[in-house]
C-alpha cells in the first residue's frame, strides 16, 4: 500500500517569510496525483494545490508552490509571503490510480505563523 510521510509535525514561520513543508511518499505506480490540503482551526479541509505525476512542471497557486521530485518521491510545499491566515494543519495526500482512487494522507504538519 502507498504511504505518505510528513516528517515535520510542527513548523513555524515569521509573517511575510517563506516556509517549506516536506512530504515523501512510497509507491510503485508511475501515474498518480499529489495534493496539499489545509485544515485551519475550523477543521474544514481546503484544497491548496495539486500535482499530476506525469507533469514535470511544478504546480503553483498564487503564494503556494510545490517542488515535485518524482525520482526521489518527494513533494514539498512552499508558502511565500506567509500570512496569519496560513496558520493551519497541512496534509499531504497521494491519490492512487489503481485502488479505487482513494486518497492516502500523511499525518500532517502544524504551521504557526508568528506576527
Partner 1 sequence: DSGVTQTPKHLITATGQRVTLRCSPRSGDLSVYWYQQSLDQGLQFLIQYYNGEERAKGNILERFSAQQFPDLHSELNLSSLELGDSALYFCASSPSGRNQETQYFGPGTRLLVL
Q: What residues make contact with partner 1 under the rule CB under 8 A?
A: 33, 35, 37, 42-47, 50, 52, 91, 95, 99-108
Nearer to partner 1, 41 or 115 (CB): 41
Shortest spacing between CB 14 and partner 1, in angstroms? 25
Shortest spacing between CB 18 and partner 1, in angstroms? 25
Beta carbons of 36 and 92 less than 8 angstroms apart: yes
Cell of 15: 509573517
Nearer to partner 1, 5 or 14 (CB): 5
Amino acid at each position: 500500500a502507498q504511504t505518505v510521510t510528513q516528517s515535520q509535525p510542527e513548523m513555524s514561520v515569521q509573517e511575510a517569510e517563506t516556509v517549506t513543508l516536506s512530504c515523501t511518499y512510497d509507491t510503485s505506480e508511475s501515474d498518480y496525483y499529489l495534493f496539499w490540503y489545509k485544515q485551519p482551526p475550523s477543521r474544514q479541509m481546503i484544497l491548496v494545490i495539486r500535482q499530476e505525476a506525469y507533469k514535470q512542471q511544478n504546480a503553483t497557486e498564487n503564494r503556494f508552490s510545490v517542488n515535485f521530485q518524482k525520482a526521489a518521491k518527494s513533494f514539498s510545499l512552499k508558502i511565500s509571503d506567509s500570512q496569519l491566515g496560513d496558520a493551519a494543519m497541512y496534509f499531504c495526500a497521494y491519490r492512487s490510480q489503481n485502488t479505487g482512487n482513494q486518497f492516502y494522507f500523511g499525518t500532517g504538519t502544524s504551521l504557526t505563523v508568528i506576527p
